[in-house]
Amino acid sequence: MKRNVCTTVCLVAVLLIISLRVSGQALIKMNTADANQPIPKEIYGQFAEHLGTCIYGGLWVGENASIPNENGYRTDVLNALKALKIPVLRWPGGCFADEYHWMDGIGPRENRPKMVNNNWGGTIEDNSFGTHEFLNLCEMLGCEPYISGNVGSGTVEELAKWVEYMTSEGDSPMANLRRRNGRDKAWNVKYLGIGNESWGCGGDMRPEYYADLYRRYATYCRNYGTRLYKVASGASDYNYDWTEVLMKQIGRRMSGVSLHYYTVAGWSGSKGAATRFSDDDYYWTLGKCREIEDILKKHIAIMDRHDPQKRINLLLDEWGTWWDEEPGTIRGHLYQQNTLRDAFVASLSFDIFHKYTQRLTMANIAQVVNVLQSMVLTNDKGQMALTPTYHVFKMYSVHQDATHIPLDITCEKKAVRDNRVLPLISATASKDKSGTVHISLSNVDLNDSQTVTIELDGLKAKNVTGEILTAKHITDHNTFDSPNVVNIAAFKGAKLNKGTLQVTLPPKSIVTLQLTIDK
């Protein structure tokens, strides 16, 4: 009898513990009085490098291809990117930029010389996608072009002439060459990167040497129309000395300085499979992803010491996940799948980026098609799949150019290997020009739902609607044959209640809510 009583009590206790874990509790307080910093739309920028099939087969197939196209651009990809409201697109690299000679990519395509892509698999490229093709694409997408100039193997004269070719409306040699190549009106090119990763593939330079080189190159890149926004080639993740030197020796000669940070397990050996990973690997990835916040703080602190007026901006112009290439694909082409795990890296990153836009004014995920953490995957059969990351960008597009609303978040945390601590709830909020408030929430817990109470801080919300991104398994991903395994769906788990918003987030889910505010 005693054994039965004990067994019953123990069973009740176990069930009580389980019931408590079914739904974690979180509290979010909105600070509307401190909502004064806009979220630049350029935070949602993209990056297209001549790498693998990002350009050829991804963005560009040529006018004579059997794959449906619009003047050579893949129709399906073009439409998908238009729907994403891309604000800015960086090109031609990456490491490719410092081996790219722009004059090889202009004029009749049949006359353009071929080149070897030494950085990425030794691919032979025919230069059929060059300056005109890229800048015309930006016009079709309605986005700003961001040109990365060749400092590593190029010359000052070469970059200066490229700027003239693209932006001069005058009766000048390069402007007239552009006209002979079929483009009368200059393009509106604002962003100009002076080199890329000059500490590595862009020339293996010391920061002091690069700073002097930047000053020389920037001097001869003239303003012919739109004032150039000149970006110095900045640091990789933890290289704070590089930022220190550039702030001292370049200073306000640059409009911005770049930063690169990848969520990657390491630079030697296997980086891990994109679709086959353990729960522990998943949580580690999100912990590594969130480390960008500490890195941003430290680079920004250096910039603040040298530039307290915040006249120089920080541009995270390469970021995202980096896994092993998919089996059976070409080595060096960096083609990787994209799971719900990658979607969480995107959502958690944006939640952090929004907090630092007084200094951080642009971010460019790597890369837009078929490379690393891409928006879109394509094949040579004319098929396309949208990735989970694409859907996060679409859900979060409501925050572009909206005013950031700071949040105080109290939630459970999880210990992650390498001595990291991962909050189970991540969130961001903003108010757009119409007065509508959007709140994006991520529950990173793989097993348990989370009940989130959001204190609206005086906002009088009339109604709430929402969208959710989740899947059965964290390893789920979209393929050409099954393109909708991970997709956006309507969300009904939010209710307004006397100045608060009660939200029940399922496990491993990303949600964006829209609140209509009574003015």
Catalytic member of 99, 133, 164, 318: 318
Q: Which helix (H) or strand (E) holds 70?
A: strand 69-70
Distance separating alpha carbons of residues 186 and 193, to the nearest angstrom? 19
CB 368 within 8 A of CB 89: yes
Q: Is 318 a catalytic residue?
A: yes
Written as six digits, the tokens of 324 are 């092993």
Measured CA to CA in angstroms, residue 394 lies from 184, 296, 390, 453 at distances of 35, 24, 6, 25
Quote the radius of gyration of the chain (alpha carbons, Å).
24
**Sequence-ordered strand ranges (E) for 169-247:** 191-194, 229-236
CB 331 within 8 A of CB 39: no
Secondary structure (DSSP) of 305-356: HH-TT--SEEEEEEEEE--PPPTTSPTTS-----BHHHHHHHHHHHHHHGGG
* Residue carrying structure tokens 């005109």: 132
Pairing, β 437-443 against β 509-517: antiparallel
Q: Which helix (H) or strand (E) holds 414?
A: strand 413-416
Written as six digits, the tokens of 118 are 């030494």
Written as six digits, the tokens of 258 are 């770049």
Distance separating alpha carbons of residues 284 and 211, to the nearest angstrom? 36
Q: Is 164 a catalytic residue?
A: no
Total residues found in the chain within this entry: 519
CB 272 within 8 A of CB 323: yes
Scanning 155-206, the segments in alpha helix (DSSP H) are 156-167, 173-180
- The sign of the CA dihedral 307, 310, 313, 319 is positive
Distance separating alpha carbons of residues 443 and 487, to the nearest angstrom? 17
Per DSSP, 433 falls in state T
Cα angle 191, 394, 451 (rounded to 5 degrees) comes to 125
Secondary structure (DSSP) of 90-120: EES-SGGGGG--GGGGSS-GGGPPPEEETTT
Catalytic member of 197, 244, 291, 467: 197
Q: Which residues carry out catalysis?
A: 197, 318
